[in-house]
Amino acid sequence: MTCTPTIAVRDLRLAYGQKEAIRGISFEILRNEIFGIIGPAQSGKTSLLHCLNRTIDFTPEARVSGSIRVDGEDVRQTRNIFALRRKIGMVAPLPVGLPLSIYDNVAFAPRCAGMRRRSELEAIVEQCLRQAALWDEVKDRLDSLGTKLSGGQQQRLTIARALSHQPEILCLDEFSIAIDPVTTMRIEDVLKELRRSMTIILVTNLTQQARRLADRTLFLWKGRIVELDHTDIIFSGKPANRQTYEYVNGIFG
């Protein structure tokens, strides 16, 4: 992991109407790190992810101020939102499969980007399914509906589809909320491999998942940063803030 920031957030504020969800937070995310974001429900974690790739734009009452720079470019000023969303892949809490075959789920984005050669599409479908640890389970039934897969397989298909954009940054929002522990551990192994080639932002309510995966962890509470530090310090029993200690030890939250 290098020490080059790929994302720089400065005084970010977000309100839904009169309700303030994010209250002036600033931090940086380094290239090729797994960056964990933890905190109780309604802390602003998911809203933060939506600000990163401008999907917050789909919420009419949302008001955003401050800056988010990705590789130096302010995402709020970019003229090419579609390129931004290809650069920042997103995996939702529940698997959202397109009503298409497994193959077409993964090939959808490359086709939208203009890729037409069957050999190129086949190569990227196989690569993404391998990266998502799904290839061996589905390689003989790529024409089957993706929605017929098990919940854990559908979530891995969602990851494969996100990877088909060839993102530089992958955001995961509670990816394990609806899948079994065995599948969760398989996806965690996938993420450890993916961090070699991309930056990963992991929002999770499972503090031990952040402890296993994240290089650094941000504790967000009521829209404010309580603490941000190396993960081993956050979970050492001696974090800088008492609230952090109480949250990661299950005393509240």
Distance between CA atoms of residues 51 and 48, nearest Å: 5
pLDDT in tens, 5-14: 799 999 999 9
At 186 the pLDDT is 87
In the structure encoding, which two tokens stand for residue 37, read together?
Answer: 């974001």
* The CATH fold of domain 5-95+167-248: Rossmann fold (3.40.50)
The model's confidence at residue 112, banded by pLDDT at 50, 70 and 90, is: confident
Distance between CA atoms of residues 27 and 201, nearest Å: 13
Q: Is the pLDDT of residue 179 over 90?
A: no
Distance between CA atoms of residues 157 and 132, nearest Å: 7
Q: Is the pLDDT of residue 3 over 80?
A: no
Contacts of 32 (CB under 8 A, 6+ apart): 1, 2, 195, 196, 197, 198, 199
Burial 209-234 (b: 16+ CB within 10 A, else e): bbbbbbbbbbbbbebebbbbbebebb
pLDDT in tens, 205-248: 999 999 999 999 999 999 999 999 999 999 998 899 999 999 99
Domain extents in the chain: 5-95+167-248
pLDDT in tens, 46-73: 999 999 999 999 999 999 999 999 999 9
Mean pLDDT of all residues belonging to the chain: 92
At 246 the pLDDT is 94
Neighbours of 39 (CB within 10 A): 24
At 40 the pLDDT is 94
Q: For a pLDDT cut of 70, what percent of the chain falls above it?
A: 97
